[in-house]
A and B are shown apart, each in its own frame.
Chain A
Amino acid sequence: MENRHLYELENESIYILREVAAQFKKPVLLFSGGKDSIVMARLAQKAFYPSKIPFSFMHIDTGHNFPETIEFRDKLMKELGVDLIVRYVQDSINENKVQEETGKYASRNALQTVTLLDAIEEFSFDVCLGGARRDEEKSRAKERIFSVRDDFGQWDYKKQRPEPFQELNGKIQFGENVRAFPISNWTEEDIWTYILQEGLELPSVYFAHKRKLVKRDGALIAHSDYLNIVDTDEIVEGLVRFRTVGDMTCTAAFLSEADTVKKVLHENMASKHSERGARIDDKRSESALEDRKKGGYF
């Protein structure tokens, strides 16, 4: 088998998904519409077939998503037959729970945390399935498969449970909840290879397309109404694709002609640019991600 390693990773992820469904009362899968959550959806489908996926999906919508992603999301949910819960950062802003950032680098990424924690409380979710991978960022390299959070969504690395032999302990006290990461051991390359192998569809922004862009600090950002454009910004047009599809205001585009999964895979391997480089937000400080995680976002 050529993709023997993917088969092993898939076995592992299915095992984790089933443990989540068995050990918790009310799981939810956090679905962003990005490639990692699309792979997660596929794995969930495989794990529970011929039964239905036994939990809902939830999207924390920043309101600044690529419209292509939202369209794709709704189509996929219909195909899978799962319930999708959407909670909006805009609502948290309207309720004065969070303040919209201002200025050139304003982004809603950090604001998601509050909306997420509120939704967890609203629905009494005891576990959230996330598509984080350990290869993405240094601080994530440490994350457990089951990561326990306190009442306030806080993560304390000293309190994380050891997971020898992948024995997963999901016992929690009232008010605590868990973030579970079934694709911890997958790399970006594994994700793309799997998408190719399984013939999965992706939102069109992952592939080369013509687009109006803003050139800022040497990076290309999608032009949109959400971006605070300043004098030094240059508006250009180009053939680009995105490697992650987060908030439109802080996801950098790559000049590319790769319009199929195969071509993207080859291009990624050839360029070997770490994927995180495409999220401008994380460059704010070396520890940005870790700070955010301590606050409950993942």
Chain B
Amino acid sequence: MELVRISTAGSVDDGKSTLIGRLLFDNNALTKEQEELIDQKTREKGADDLELSVITDGLVAEREQGITIDVAHIYFSTDTHKFIIADSPGHVEYTRNMVTGASTAETSIILIDSRKGLLEQSFRHFYISHLLRMEKVIFCVNKMDLVDYDEDRFIEIAVQIKEMVSKIGDDIDFDIVPISSLKGDNVVHKSGQMSWYGGKTLNELLHLNKSKINLNKAKYEQSFRFDVQQVYHTHREGFQDFRGFAGRVKSGTLSVGDKIITLPSKKESTVKEIRRFTDQLNTANAGDSVIISLTDEIDISRGSLIAKLNEQPEELKEFDATLVWMDDNSARVGSKLILKAGATESLLKIQKINYSVDTSNLEKDENASTIELNDIVSTNLKLSKPVYLDNYEDNKRNGVFILIDPQTNSTVAVGFKS
């Protein structure tokens, strides 16, 4: 089975909960209890159509407020794929959750109400999908039943979408699907009402997932990056004087015999063994949690980075990065924070705010002096000790970091090196 991670976003009432419910229902992926719940709520409401949105209801507080307010994870599988949906709300104040939800996904689904067309929210959703360099974006034009399944209306919205994409960045793979979540058109089953649409259903697009194949290829072709989480030292039987470096391959591949360099110590060596539990591997690939041992005794500790020789990232003590601010406490030029990227940590100062972006009209404010919750800003950062990041565009896994407020210990921002 292939694992597919999806993130969904939409403004309140665009029909996101109904869409997820529909996707599970028509894929026959609901438990009996969930189906009973839908049945019960449908009867309570006396509705003609199924009350599919109850599946994604969450915390009690949320139910009372009638809106989703955090990232919820929904799991389902079909015969060939296992899906994890990170569902984040579309409220203005929750850019934070959307970034979090999308950060572990490859595909993002953006919902648009066919009656309303593109809203500020749609721009924000796409802006974030683009900022995160999602492998694929699927625009679902929902509630087509309410515009009489009209092809012209769909085309109008599709044109708006394409304009938006070319403005924000067209270096991203996207599809546009006309659907009705409520009635089930083009979600899993092909619509009988929209014969004018010759494209794939949402479900087909999710299952195709060619993006995943591209993603993996891209990951393997990238430079090798490995963050040392822990050093294992043991003398147990069969492992006399064993010294191994445990961590997860961020990108690229590494094979036994490869020449490597460790950072920041800049020592060179050769890969002796790659282990994963009792297996000895020839090669480790992006995503693998493994243990690497080297032919030389060199000084490596948590936070060291292993790269292939002559492919190492630049040493950075100062760089530009886009930050998405996630905390109620604001920041300004001069704010001191902790940068954490995997096992690496360094003290950091915000040296300059280059500009902040209004995602609804893409305007840049070059006079921004503070960074507030949900702001997206370009900054210049200065570090107390060097880090080894790549540009996010070139290497997602080694181009991203979080910022921690040393006073509160909160995670206050996510950053993308530019």
B302: A residues at CB distance < 8 A? 22
B239: A residues at CB distance < 8 A? 50
Given contacts A141-B73, A274-B31, contact A18 B411 (CB under 8 A): no
**Chain B residue with Cβ nearest A185:** B84
Contact of B31 among A19, A161, A273 (CB under 8 A): A273
B409-A46 in contact (CB<8A) = no
B414: A residues at CB distance < 8 A? 162, 164-165, 167
Cβ-based interface call for A290 (8 A): yes
A15-B59 in contact (CB<8A) = no
B3-A139 in contact (CB<8A) = no
A49-B402 in contact (CB<8A) = no
Interface residues in A162-198 (C-beta closer than 8 Å to B): 162-167, 169, 171-173, 184-185, 187, 189-190
B30: A residues at CB distance < 8 A? 272
CB B74 to nearest CB in A, in angstroms, measures: 7
Cβ-based interface call for B157 (8 A): no
A3-B229 in contact (CB<8A) = no
CB A272 to nearest CB in B, in angstroms, measures: 5
Cβ-based interface call for B196 (8 A): no
Cβ-based interface call for B278 (8 A): yes
B60-A287 in contact (CB<8A) = yes
Cβ-based interface call for B58 (8 A): yes
Cβ-based interface call for B319 (8 A): no
B409-A171 in contact (CB<8A) = yes
Identify the stretch in A4-12, A96-104, A214-222, A238-246 within 8 Å (CB) of chain B at 4 or more residues.
A4-12
Cβ-based interface call for B203 (8 A): no
B99-A164 in contact (CB<8A) = yes
Cβ-based interface call for A64 (8 A): no
Cβ-based interface call for B1 (8 A): yes
B248-A290 in contact (CB<8A) = no
CB A32 to nearest CB in B, in angstroms, measures: 22
B209: A residues at CB distance < 8 A? none
B100-A163 in contact (CB<8A) = yes
Contact of A5 among B31, B82, B232, B402 (CB under 8 A): B82
Cβ-based interface call for A14 (8 A): yes
A134-B411 in contact (CB<8A) = no
Cβ-based interface call for A21 (8 A): yes
A162-B31 in contact (CB<8A) = no
Cβ-based interface call for B410 (8 A): yes
Cβ-based interface call for B104 (8 A): yes
B276: A residues at CB distance < 8 A? 46
CB A90 to nearest CB in B, in angstroms, measures: 32
Question: A18 to B31, alpha carbons, bound, how many Å?
Answer: 34
A19, A142, A157, A189, most chain B CB atoms within 10 A = A142
Cβ-based interface call for A94 (8 A): no
B236-A135 in contact (CB<8A) = no
B72: A residues at CB distance < 8 A? 141-142
CB contacts between A and B, total, < 8 Å: 149
A49: B residues at CB distance < 8 A? 275, 277-278
Given contacts A164-B414, A169-B409, contact A142 B70 (CB under 8 A): yes
**Chain A residue with Cβ nearest B285:** A11
Given contacts A8-B287, A49-B278, contact A173 B409 (CB under 8 A): yes
Question: A18 to B33, alpha carbons, bound, how many Å?
Answer: 36
Cβ-based interface call for A250 (8 A): no
Given contacts A272-B32, A274-B34, contact A22 B411 (CB under 8 A): no
Question: Which secondary structure dominates chain A's binding surface?
Answer: helix
A9: B residues at CB distance < 8 A? 3
B289-A14 in contact (CB<8A) = yes
Cβ-based interface call for A263 (8 A): no
A173: B residues at CB distance < 8 A? 409
**Chain A residue with Cβ nearest B233:** A51
B277-A46 in contact (CB<8A) = yes
Question: A243 to B396, alpha carbons, bound, how many Å?
Answer: 40
**Chain A residue with Cβ nearest B30:** A272
B82: A residues at CB distance < 8 A? 5, 187, 190
B409-A172 in contact (CB<8A) = yes
B229-A22 in contact (CB<8A) = yes
Question: A189 to B3, alpha carbons, bound, how many Å?
Answer: 14
A5: B residues at CB distance < 8 A? 1-3, 82
A290: B residues at CB distance < 8 A? 59-60
C-beta contact mask, B234-273 vs A, less than 8 Å → 1, else 0?
Answer: 1010110010101110000000000000000000000000
Cβ-based interface call for A67 (8 A): no
Cβ-based interface call for A225 (8 A): no
B229: A residues at CB distance < 8 A? 15, 18-19, 22
A274-B1 in contact (CB<8A) = no
Interface residues in B387-418 (C-beta closer than 8 Å to A): 397, 400-402, 404, 409-411, 414
A166-B104 in contact (CB<8A) = yes
B232: A residues at CB distance < 8 A? 48, 50-51
Question: A19 to B414, alpha carbons, bound, how many Å?
Answer: 19
B236-A274 in contact (CB<8A) = no
Interface residues in A247-276 (C-beta closer than 8 Å to B): 271-274
Interface residues in B31-57 (C-beta closer than 8 Å to A): 31-34, 57
A172: B residues at CB distance < 8 A? 409
Cβ-based interface call for A41 (8 A): no
CB B310 to nearest CB in A, in angstroms, measures: 27
Cβ-based interface call for B230 (8 A): yes
27 intermolecular pairs with C-beta atoms under 8 Å apart: A5-B1, A8-B3, A9-B3, A10-B289, A11-B248, A15-B289, A19-B229, A22-B230, A22-B302, A47-B246, A49-B277, A50-B238, A52-B236, A135-B75, A138-B57, A141-B74, A142-B58, A142-B71, A161-B411, A164-B326, A167-B341, A167-B400, A167-B411, A169-B402, A169-B411, A274-B33, A287-B60
3 tightest A-B CB contacts, nearest first: A5-B3, A14-B289, A274-B31
Chain B positions near chain A (C-beta within 8 angstroms): 1-3, 30-34, 57-61, 70-75, 77, 82, 84, 96-97, 99-100, 103-104, 229-230, 232-234, 236, 238-239, 242, 244, 246-248, 275-278, 287-289, 302, 326, 340-343, 397, 400-402, 404, 409-411, 414
Chain A positions near chain B (C-beta within 8 angstroms): 2-5, 8-12, 14-15, 18-19, 21-22, 45-52, 134-135, 138-139, 141-142, 157, 161-167, 169, 171-173, 184-185, 187, 189-190, 271-274, 277, 287, 290
Interface contacts beyond A52-B234, A166-B103, A273-B32: sample of 10 additional A-B pairs, CB < 8 Å, sorted by A: A4-B2, A4-B3, A48-B232, A50-B236, A50-B242, A134-B75, A138-B57, A169-B340, A189-B77, A277-B33
